[in-house]
Amino acid sequence: MNLVNQKTRVVGVDISSDFTTYALVDVRGNILAKDEFPTAECPTVASFVNRLCESIVKLVEANGGYETVRSVGVSSPSASFVTGSIEHAANLPWKGIVPLAAMMRDQLGLAVGVANDAHATALGESVYGSAHGMKNYIVIHLGTGLGSCFFSEGREHLGKNGYAGEFGHICMVPEGGRQCGCGHTGCLETYVNNKGIIQTAREMMAASDEPSLMRSLDDLSPRTIVECCEQGDKMAQEVFRYTGKILGWGLANYACIVSPEAIVLTGGIFKAGKWLLEPTQEAFEKHIFHNMQGRVKLLLSTLETSDREVLGASALAWDVEEYSLFK
């Protein structure tokens, strides 16, 4: 037994349109070191991979050394664990198919797993968060988009190409629905994501002459609409009631297919608290199949928002098969 060379750490990387964050994480989910750089500073894939790999090496060398690191997990929009690639990401600087796992593995000499952000978030909840110990559950991530991942008997269901769980694009309004970025209309996401909530507020203000604090906001956003709710603004409260109702219907449909023990809700929008959660829960219980009524928990993530993505990516790193050029 060679305890000296035991690899007790992994690197978690979260790529978003704003920042690429990378962290060294131990087996217990403690973030030992973390840093970031603006993603847009790397206009080409090659420059991005170089910068990311050099940054990871620097972080690792300054914190215990390369030989303690087992593998790397990367969370990115539009990524597939099955192919190890980022494919046609709408909000990242590089287009087309980017075989990121292979490119990073060649440069780092370590195993690299790549997954979409919803998948990585779900793994993080499973290993370190609210879904710990569960076998059948759904994790929802709501923010700019609406992603999800579900686990069946302890394993994530990824589908043929790794794109299972595109919950944001189920059709909730078949005729006359809102235009979605995916090209279709009436997708759930267009009613419940950040932009959707703002659009609902605008539509409600346009449809009536009722006074509302929202009318004098310079910056209309889910956060400022919540502030209006807290000051007793009826129309702002109605915005979240409407949002929660549609989200609850969608979740009830999802639960009917998966029959989960729980649905874990993650994402900044859930900071809206009771204004969003109460109508969501109400619509969910009303529309779920009767045999499941009262038996599926809606839970909030217990992980810190700022750490959730890199922790999810680090959980993924433990899931990839070990590989080392130096073995």
Sites of contact with Zn ion (CB under 5 A): 169, 180, 182, 184, 187
Min CB(89)–Zn ion separation in Å: 15
Min CB(185)–Zn ion separation in Å: 8
Min CB(195)–Zn ion separation in Å: 12
Min CB(182)–Zn ion separation in Å: 3
Nearer to Zn ion, 184 or 274 (CB): 184
Nearer to Zn ion, 51 or 178 (CB): 178
Nearer to Zn ion, 136 or 185 (CB): 185
Nearer to Zn ion, 142 or 313 (CB): 142
Min CB(191)–Zn ion separation in Å: 11
Nearer to Zn ion, 111 or 192 (CB): 192
User: Are the C-beta atoms of residues 321 and 81 closer than 8 Å to each other?
Assistant: no
